[in-house]
């Protein structure tokens, strides 16, 4: 859990953070509306629906502010070396990419390190653990959970209704495929592991002493038991 900052200190710091101005404006707009005469005449369901939509937008702006704040503090490096062993020495600053999240779409701005004939590297993408596509971990998780319960069409509708994000059907299918890519390898690894326990605990039963309740027997069975004269335990 992040360390808590005193409220007054957090507010004073917020005034200095231009990246969060948009989020602050959205929060103030929420408060103004909720305190307005028009809002006081609304039913709770309408207020709830308004807060779900406007609240998602507030969270989206907060996330965007955080990403912008990190972008302003990213310092150029002399070079970045990739897994291929090639040093990228040219730094192209402020390269944007889109990121679809459960709150809505945001923009990640970061530095790109390039070398002719080789693909670019983005250290900020690694720090944020971003995927090659534009979908966030939160959306990927929602798609995986919803698709396990229903069809992909219903998954698309559920994501659009319950979040501020949107994932088309084709992309949903691709995300689920990626989520299950190591499924077989995972269980194969578990199957190959040897059991370390040396002592076995074995239980046997012979079904003796099991109580039979006659009140739930069918009429034919009750008549058969009465006529047979067999002994059964209650």
Q: What is the pLDDT of residues 81-139, one digit of tens each?
A: 999 999 999 999 999 999 999 999 999 999 999 999 999 999 999 999 999 999 999 99
- What contacts 62, CB < 8 A, 6 or more positions away? 20, 23
Structural domain contains residue 114: yes
Distance CA 115, CA 133 (A): 22
Exposed / middle / buried, residue 80 (Cβ in 10 Å: 0-12, 13-18, 19+): buried
pLDDT of residue 169: 95
State pLDDT tens for residues 133-170.
999 999 999 999 999 999 999 999 999 999 999 999 99
Residues 6+ positions from 71 with CB-CB distance below 8 Å: 94, 108, 109, 110, 124
Residue 52 lies in a domain: yes
Tracing tokens 């370390």 back to the chain, one arrives at: 196
Query: In sequence order, which residues have a C-beta less than 8 Å from that of residue 66 and are 6 or more positions away?
Result: 19
pTM for the model: 0.72
Q: Is residue 214 part of a domain?
A: no
In a domain, 195, yes or no: no
Residue 123 within any structural domain of the chain:
yes
Report the domain count for the chain. Answer: 1
Residues 192 and 195: their CA atoms lie apart, in Å, by 9
Structural domain span for residue 151: 7-182
109 domain residue, yes or no? yes
């Amino acid at each position: 859990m992040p360390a808590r900052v005193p409220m007054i200190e957090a507010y004073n710091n917020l005034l200095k953070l231009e990246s969060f101005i948009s989020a602050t404006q959205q929060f103030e707009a929420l408060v103004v509306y909720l305190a307005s005469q028009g809002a006081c005449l609304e039913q709770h369901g309408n207020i709830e629906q308004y807060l779900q939509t406007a609240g998602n937008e507030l969270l989206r702006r907060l996330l965007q502010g955080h990403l912008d704040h990190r972008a302003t503090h990213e310092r150029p490096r002399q070079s970045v070396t990739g897994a291929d062993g090639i040093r990228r020495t040219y730094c192209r600053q402020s390269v944007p990419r889109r990121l679809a999240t459960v709150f809505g779409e945001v923009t990640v701005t970061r530095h790109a390190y390039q070398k002719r004939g080789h693909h670019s590297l983005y250290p900020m993408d690694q720090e944020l653990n971003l995927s090659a596509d534009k979908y966030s971990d939160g959306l990927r998780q929602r798609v995986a959970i919803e698709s396990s319960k229903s069809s992909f069409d219903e998954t698309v509708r559920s994501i659009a209704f319950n979040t501020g994000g949107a994932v088309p059907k084709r992309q949903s299918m691709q995300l689920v495929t990626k989520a299950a890519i190591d499924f077989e390898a995972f269980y194969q690894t578990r199957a190959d592991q040897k059991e370390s326990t040396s002592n076995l605990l074995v239980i046997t039963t012979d079904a003796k002493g099991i109580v039979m309740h006659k009140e739930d027997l069918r009429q034919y069975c009750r008549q058969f038991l009465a006529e047979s004269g067999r002994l059964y335990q209650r």
